[in-house]
Amino acid sequence: MHRRTLPLSQVYRLLEPGPVVLLSTARAGRPNVMTMSWHTMMEFEPPLVGCVVSNRNYSFDLLRSTRECALNVPSADLADKVVACGNASGRDIDKFAAFGVTAITASHIAAPLVGECFASLECKVVDTRLVRAYNFFILEVVKAWIDPARKDAPTLHHRGMGRFMVGGKTITLPSRMK
Ligand SMILES: Cc1cc2nc3c(=O)[nH]c(=O)nc-3n(C[C@H](O)[C@H](O)[C@H](O)COP(=O)(O)O)c2cc1C
């Protein structure tokens, strides 16, 4: 897949609509990936993203100990892999091998990017003050990647209990922001 650098000032445009993402981590060379929909933009630049990662998940241990992850944005055609990664634990299996997900090397973090996703954000944990109370990690995006040919790909939006909304067409309306 062709990837180019996405300016950090543009990162909010990927996450503001709230797509389901794949959060990838790694420890001691062993990667993991989990599905996540509880995330929110918190700042434009540097982009800050808050997310809830349950302390029951293996990813919680990896994120807390390594303080690094990638947020990968899948298009709707990856729905089967997205659901699979959200219903199995890396404690039990290698989800990359089991579900045919490709780990590719990131530039600023040890955690891998998910090759099938049209955008990937390399993140460092910058604030853990709300982890104890809410399992809420604050991440700074330090590098962002996008496949320009698929930047408007339809995304998945979780509506609970196995139901998803699929992103539709993009429309342009007046905005103060250039
Ligand atoms: C659509 C979807 C959204 C999810 N969102 C979250 C989330 O925001 N936070 C979370 O902790 N778990 C979320 N999960 C559950 C985890 O993906 C799931 O518990 C996974 O098995 C954890 O994997 P791990 O043990 O390898 O970390 C979601 C699952 C699905 C299917």
Give DSSP secondary structure letters for 97-149.
HHHT--EE--SS-SSPEETTSSEEEEEEEEE-TTHHHH-EEEEEEEEEEE-GG
Which residue lies with its CA nearest to atom 7 of ligand 1? 36
Asked if 156 contacts 19 with a C-beta cutoff of 8 angstroms, the reply is yes
Entry pTM: 0.95
Match 């990936």 to its residue by tokens. 33
Average pLDDT over residues 7-21: 87
Whether 165 lines ligand 1, by a CB cut-off of 6 Å, is: no
Rounded Cα distance, 21 and 71, in Å? 6
Amino acid at 107: S
Which of ligand 1's atoms lies nearest the C-alpha of 54?
Answer: 11
pLDDT digit string, tens, across residues 55-79 = 999 999 999 999 999 999 999 999 9
* Res 175 pLDDT > 80: yes
Average pLDDT over residues 18-46: 97
Cα 128 to ligand 1 centroid, rounded to whole Å: 19
Strand partners, 113: 104
Q: Mean pLDDT for the chain? A: 95
The whole-angstrom distance between residue 177's C-alpha and the CA centroid of its chain comes to: 25
* Res 159 pLDDT > 80: yes
Distances (CA, A) of 49 to 38, 39, 44, 79, 148: 10, 7, 9, 23, 22
Whether 12 lines ligand 1, by a CB cut-off of 6 Å, is: no
* Res 1 pLDDT > 80: no
Which of ligand 1's atoms lies nearest the C-alpha of 51?
Answer: 8
Whether 57 lines ligand 1, by a CB cut-off of 6 Å, is: yes
pLDDT of residue 178: 62
